[in-house]
Amino acid sequence: LTVLSFLLHTLILGAFILASGCASPVTPVVQNRQLKETGHLGDSKGMFREPRDLKLTPRNTLLVTDFRNYRIQELTLDGDPLNSWGYRGSEAGEFLDPVTATMDREGNVYGVDTWNHRVQKLDVDTGKWNADWAVADFYAPRGIAIDSANRIYVVNTSRHSIHVYRSDGHRL
């Protein structure tokens, strides 16, 4: 798949989820916008090496998990790069397998890092990643969602469970 067809496929899937009523009320509605083709193979901002996931954010931007560049990128709805976070590794702000990410209403970013067995939180106020955001027994987490009450749901794949957290990382 080209980057454009991947992005369009993901947006169509997102529209289906919105139409089915399964999406959170904080999911933005994008009207009268057409995503231009964006991205090519590379490691500069706006370029990708195996993009894995795409999410619309509450501030009408796109979060793309860029698997082989070990980062999360934020793009405008036109595909222009805004932010890029992450490097390869195991420290705060580093990823081994970024598979998905999401953003809460305050602009904090939550990045799921499957093979570091964690979810990291980028605090919008400090600009720092918290690698110990949630005290959990994660093993290969692969999914994340936020509801209208700002509760964070994490798919803990190899533990066959879904965990629910407050935005401060405490489990409910």
Nearest to 108 by CA among 90, 120, 95, 94: 120
Flag whether the pTM goes above 0.85: no
Nearest to 24 by CA among 103, 96, 99: 103
Using one digit for the tens of pLDDT, what is the confidence trace for 15-24?
434 443 444 4
Residues 151, 75, 54, 170, Cα dihedral to 10°: -20
Using one digit for the tens of pLDDT, what is the confidence trace for 44-87?
888 899 999 999 999 999 999 999 999 999 999 999 999 999 99
Using one digit for the tens of pLDDT, what is the confidence trace for 104-160?
999 999 999 999 999 999 998 898 999 888 867 899 999 999 999 999 999 999 989
